[in-house]
Amino acid sequence: MGFRLDQELCEKLFDLPADEVNLNEQEQNVNTHVAEQLSIINNQQQSAVLWGIQERTNEFLDRELERLDKWSQDLKNKLEFELKELDAEIAQLQKEARLVRQITVKLEINKTIREREKHRSELRRNLFDTQDEIDRQKELLFQDVEKKLEQKISKKQIFMIKWQLV
3-class DSSP state of 122: helix
What b/e sequence results for 80-112 when a residue is b if at least 16 CB atoms lie within 10 Å of its CB, and e otherwise?
Answer: eeeeeebeeebeebeeebeeeeeeeeeeebeee
Cα torsion through 43, 47, 49, 54, rounded to 10: 160
Q: Which of 43, 67, 63 is nearest to 145 (CA)?
A: 63
Asked if the model's pLDDT at residue 111 lies above 90, the reply is yes
Asked if the model's pLDDT at residue 152 lies above 60, the reply is yes
This prediction has a pTM of 0.58
The model's confidence at residue 164, banded by pLDDT at 50, 70 and 90, is low
The model's confidence at residue 134, banded by pLDDT at 50, 70 and 90, is confident
What are the sequence ranges of the domains in the chain?
31-149
Alpha carbon distance, N-terminus to C-terminus of the chain: 15
The model's confidence at residue 154, banded by pLDDT at 50, 70 and 90, is confident
